[in-house]
Amino acid sequence: MPVVYQSASFYIMKIKYDKEQDILYVSFSDEAVFESDEEKKGLILDYSAEGHIVGIEIINASGHVSNPEKVEYEFT
């Protein structure tokens, strides 16, 4: 189940973990993905046509994150 943070004037950031595929995806925008770059093995950044970061995908998430099913937010 995605965890959602809502801001009054911005897109709702979404975090999705696919346990079966072991993929963690953080979505920052509802803009279409125009280009994707694998910055490091298993870390993919998705960009819009305007060059904005649309999302971050972590392949083999359980190997990079101690518990991909748990999310904690901090507001300052």
Question: Who's near 1: CB < 8 A, 6+ residues apart?
Answer: none
Residues 2-52 pLDDT 10s: 444 444 456 788 999 999 999 999 999 889 999 999 989 999 999 999 999
Q: What is the pTM of this model?
A: 0.77
- Point out which residues pair with 56 in neighbouring strands: 26, 45
Per-residue tokens: 13: 């950031």
| Euclidean distance between CA atoms 35 and 60, whole angstroms | 21
Residues 53-76 pLDDT 10s: 999 999 999 888 788 778 777 778
Whole-number Cα distances in Å, 76 to 1, 15, 26, 27, 36: 26, 20, 20, 21, 31
Spell out the domain ranges in the chain: 3-63
